Amino acid sequence: MTRTQRWSAASTAAVALNAMLFLMVAYLISRASVPEPPELVSVKLLVLEATPPPPEPPPPLPPKPKPRLVKKIEPKVLPDQPPPPDIDELLEPLPEPKTIGLDEDMEPEPEQPPMPSQPPEPVYIPSHKLSRLPAFVRKAEPVYPEKERFTGREARVVVELLLDNEGKINSLRIVESGGEAFDDAVKQALEDSMFAPGYMGQRPVAVRVQIPFVFKLR
């Protein structure tokens, strides 16, 4: 074998050895870099089945009403009675009306004239509603009673007059009495007096007015 051939064989063997070493190193590196798979752990899943809640009991039924006892009323049997008499048998027949003829010579009575109706009572207006009060047309002064003057007695008399729309006295009433003698003197004086009527606006009206009279010794 020549020197050259020996050199070539040695080179080839060295290359093959290096290749084997490289492959062994690469295998070892690959084994170290890849982690071993973990151990498998078996896990049992506990599956709980959902149990539905028990149904609610139904509401209690209302108590049945007690049946009312209905008392049976038996009809009373009345004894046989005779039928009522016919009403025509009870009523007596009325006598036939008699026709009274008028004598030709008789004249019918004349019809009486109707009674005249009384005039309505006038409405008397109080004095505070008048536009003009009634006034004396002729005033008669009451005479002081001699007996009362002799005894020195004084008095006050108030009279209420009802005057019509012409000023005439329809009614007279003593509101405040001073005694029988003083009252009579005032009444006599008013009977001898005359009044002008009171007015509401421009119209004379019936009025109610009070007049005081004072009896005083000087």
Count the alpha carbons within 13 Å of 163 in the hemisphere toward its beta carbon: 29
d(CA 48, CA 73): 73
Compute the mean pLDDT over every residue in the chain, rounded to the nearest whole number. Answer: 77
Selected residue with higher pLDDT from 20 and 150: 150
pLDDT tens figures, 119-128: 677 888 898 8
DSSP bridge partners of 199? 132, 204
Can you give the pTM of this predicted structure?
0.45
Q: What is the pLDDT of residue 101?
A: 52
- Which of residues 129 and 81 earns the better pLDDT score? 129
**Strand order, beta sheet including 207-215:** 125-126, 207-215, 155-163, 169-176
The predicted pLDDT at position 67 comes to 66
* Predicted local distance difference test score (pLDDT) of residue 169: 93
The tens digit of pLDDT for each residue in 32-87 reads: 655 555 554 454 444 445 556 667 777 777 777 776 766 666 656 566 666 655 55
Q: What is the pLDDT of residue 86?
A: 59
The percentage of residues in the chain with a pLDDT greater than 90, rounded to a whole number, is 39
Nearest C-alpha neighbor of 181 from the set 137, 213, 205, 139: 213
**Region 156-164 average pLDDT:** 94
Where are any strands of DSSP class E within the chain?
125-126, 135-138, 155-163, 169-176, 194-196, 198-200, 203-205, 207-215
pLDDT of residue 179: 93
Instruction: Using the predicted structure, report yes or no on whether residue 102 has a pLDDT greater than 60.
Output: no
Residue 185 to residue 162: CA distance in whole angstroms: 19
Domains in the chain: ranges and CATH: 134-215 (3.30.2420.10)
* Residue 167 tokens, joined: 């000023």
